[in-house]
Amino acid sequence: MTAAVEMSGVRKAFRGKEALRGVEWSVPEASVCGLIGANGAGKTTLLRLALGLVRADAGSVVVLGERLGLENASLRERVHYVASDRAMAPGYRVDEWVRYASLAYPRWDTVRAGRLLGALELDLRRGVGELSAGQRTSLQIVVAAASRPDLLLLDEPTNGLDVVVKTQVLQLVIDMAAAEGTTMILASHHIEDVERLADRLAVLYDGHFVLQGDLDAIKARMHRLQVVIPGDWPVELEKDPTVVRVERQGKVAVLTVDGPPEPVAELCRRHGAVLVESIDLDLAEVFRIVLGKEGYSRAQLQWNVE
């Protein structure tokens, strides 16, 4: 399978502070890759690298078969970047910005643009600067869809969208990926969006990937067991390297296992467990576990502490 994005040994520093340190990343064509990470992990930098806007200090970046150079404008005809929560195109009305985009993108689809502008109820005569954050994101989505990109980079695309528009936008993205085989990279803190859209997952922490691969495979690798052990708590469980998290409340415990669950279940039964059952593990929990292993955690905030 060919890669839409291939990064090797990529490093990037801003004012002496390393944002990316030796990134190795491959996103197969026609896949939807969820990119998650803690705040400041380097997600936006990574997307801007893939867009050819920011230049890497070291390493190689190949996007849609093109090794990135100085301008990369021809690449951006096929790669589109959508980011919410920012000012965009001040001084333009919606129709003027769409007009500009129609001139800039060679594969512009006028019919699709018109249809989406209507569906998202964007007023063509309004200034872009007057739009709400959600409307600005909607406009970006319209332009992205009408430019028919091969690679769509989505940076927190659902921020500021109400539930109805969010559903509309996500469905559009899913349709684009399915109908046109558009490769998508979705950077988001909304893990439920990632879980819904992505077939691959990459977890970025402190400027490097700590986990990447097929989403189902990643989820299949991690398990959660609820056990009830009336007797003494078996110390072996604490020492088992596959048991990455233990939450105990009296005799009941929830174990998170990174690997096959059967050996751990068997160990529990040997120590007199009266109940061993598998419970669902969501992606948010996987994210917490993976980052927890890297040492990323926060103390629980206490209200009204002197």
Q: How far is the CB of 57 from other proteins (least distance, A)?
A: 10
Using alpha carbons, select from 224, 237, 225 the residue that is nearest to residue 271: 237
Would you give the end-to-end CA distance of the chain in angstroms? 57
Residue 70 to residues 25, 53, 75, 240, Cα–Cα distance (Å): 21, 9, 11, 50
Nearer to other proteins, 15 or 239 (CB): 15
Q: How far is the CB of 48 from other proteins (least distance, A)?
A: 7
Nearer to other proteins, 67 or 107 (CB): 107
Cα 79 to Cα 149: distance, rounded to the nearest angstrom: 5
* Tokens standing for residue 290: 């993976």
Cα 183 to Cα 53: distance, rounded to the nearest angstrom: 19
Residue type, 46: L
Taking each helix axis from N to C terminus, what angle separates 110-119 and 94-104, rounded to the nearest 10 degrees? 150
* Tokens standing for residue 139: 């406009």
Q: How far is the CB of 87 from other proteins (least distance, A)?
A: 7
Q: How far is the CB of 254 from other proteins (least distance, A)?
A: 35
Q: How far is the CB of 125 from other proteins (least distance, A)?
A: 15
* Tokens standing for residue 93: 């009305």
Q: For binding to other proteins (CB under 8 A), which residues are involved?
A: 14, 48, 51, 53-55, 70-71, 73-77, 81, 86-92, 96, 99-112
Nearer to other proteins, 106 or 213 (CB): 106
Nearer to other proteins, 92 or 296 (CB): 92
Q: How far is the CB of 109 from other proteins (least distance, A)?
A: 5
- Beta-bridge mates of residue 35: 187, 202
Residue type, 173: V
Residue type, 185: I
DSSP annotation of 170: H
Nearer to other proteins, 17 or 239 (CB): 17
Nearer to other proteins, 86 or 248 (CB): 86
* Tokens standing for residue 23: 């990134």
Q: What order of strands is seen across the sheet that includes strand 275-279? A: 243-249, 252-258, 222-228, 275-279
Using alpha carbons, select from 20, 45, 38, 33 the residue that is nearest to residue 287: 38
Q: How far is the CB of 120 from other proteins (least distance, A)?
A: 18
